[in-house]
Amino acid sequence: MATAAAAAAAAAVSSPAAPRAGAAAAAIARRGFVTFGAGAARSSPTLRSGRGFSGVRTYVAAVEQAVAKDATKLEAPVVIVTGASRGIGKAIALALGKAGCKVLVNYARSSKEAEDVSKEIEAAGGEAITFGGDVSKEADVESMMKAALDKWGTIDILVNNAGITRDTLLMRMKKSQWQDVIDLNLTGVFLCTQAATKVMMKKKKGRIINIASVVGLTGNVGQANYSAAKAGVIGFTKTVAREYASRNINVNAIAPGFIASDMTAELGEELEKKILSTIPLGRYGQPEEVAGLVEFLALNPAASYITGQVRWHYDCISLRFFCSEFYLITFQLTLVTRRCLPLTEGW
């Protein structure tokens, strides 16, 4: 695992060229996003209407008008995405980078993949740096926050995506398999959120999106550790949202179901048919679809009144979806991952 010194050194691996400010401002303007710009607290309109959705529409329209009036003076939001070298994390980093954000691309082991993500953001006119560090280590988290602050002077948005699995039945699960998953998937969210909110509180603005999982609600055979961690993330999200609401920091979670990944690509045809038969749309979700929801919660002014929520990201999952047959299918699925452990979610 990376030490604090190694993590700090890794932060310097990628140093982007000067961003095309006009392109970034235009991207932000298209989304009507002014709340993280200079003087935003003074210039952003206030939602005062008590008339339900009409008040929201008025507010969003006012924000968009304010942005269009002076988009060139906007400051691009600074985003940290953990576990962003591949999978869902990669899709999130790319979506936010192409939307005009300045993105810190965190990774633990996949340095080349992380560099490629940063380069793709830069090629689209954005700005990015890579940072190698283990979010379950407090020293690494502190170094990561410092890297963002040294580069851009602030932190506006945090996406806690990093995670691992160590799948096996409880009767066979070693304490280390339990602890590894809890440390990274839950303690990592705690450490990153606690560190980032220290910055957000000073400016009284921020948005945090935690990537949970549907198994945090339902449980899953062979994933006692992972299910417990993701359930913890859900409870953590709701509590932190209450604690920081008065500081104008929105905290939400997204709980994906089956998302296309390296793992699903390894499945045999028969097992894949069984899985897809349980999904009404008949296909896996795509990482970009999760990223689209993250982008909305992170940047859209219409999301300014959303906090403490868990957005279930799956296709009309019913109780039948979690019947005993499904548990057997998904446990077969987890066995596939043991050939390429540690399985990661963009980590």
Determine which one of 226, 284, 305, 327 is catalytic. 226
| 284 a catalytic residue | no
Contact 54, 61 (CB under 8 A): no
Mark the binding-site residues for NADP(+), compressed into ranges.
83-86, 161, 226-230, 259
Q: Output the CA–CA distances (angstroms, integers) from residue 100 to 13, 17, 177, in the order listed.
A: 22, 15, 39
143: pLDDT strictly greater than 70: yes
Predicted pLDDT of residue 26: 59
Q: Is 124 exposed, middle or buried (0-12, 13-18, 19+ CB in 10 A)?
A: middle
Predicted pLDDT of residue 90: 97
Q: Output the CA–CA distances (angstroms, integers) from residue 23 to 38, 98, 235, 332, in the order listed.
A: 17, 9, 38, 46
- Provide, rounded to the nearest whole percent, the portion of the chain with pLDDT above 90: 58
Mark the binding-site residues, compressed into ranges.
83-86, 161, 226-230, 259
- pLDDT tens digits for 282-303? 888 899 999 999 999 999 999 9
Alpha helices in the chain (DSSP H): 4-11, 21-30, 40-43, 53-69, 87-98, 111-123, 138-152, 175-182, 188-203, 215-218, 224-244, 262-265, 269-277, 287-299, 324-337
Give the fold, CATH level 3, of 4-19+77-344.
Answer: Rossmann fold (3.40.50)
Q: Output the CA–CA distances (angstroms, integers) from residue 2 to 116, 127, 131, in the order listed.
A: 20, 25, 11
Tell me the domain boundaries of the chain: 4-19+77-344
Q: Output the CA–CA distances (angstroms, integers) from residue 283 to 52, 254, 280, in the order listed.
A: 36, 19, 8
Give the other-Cβ count within 10 Å of 12's Cβ: 13
Mean pLDDT of the chain: 81
Predicted pLDDT of residue 273: 84
- Taking the C-alpha atoms of residue 239 and residue 131, their distance in angstroms, rounded to an integer, is 28
Please indicate, yes or no, whether the overall pTM of this predicted structure exceeds 0.85: no
Specify the higher pLDDT residue, 39 or 59: 59
- pLDDT tens digits for 307-345? 999 988 665 444 344 443 444 445 555 554 444 344 444
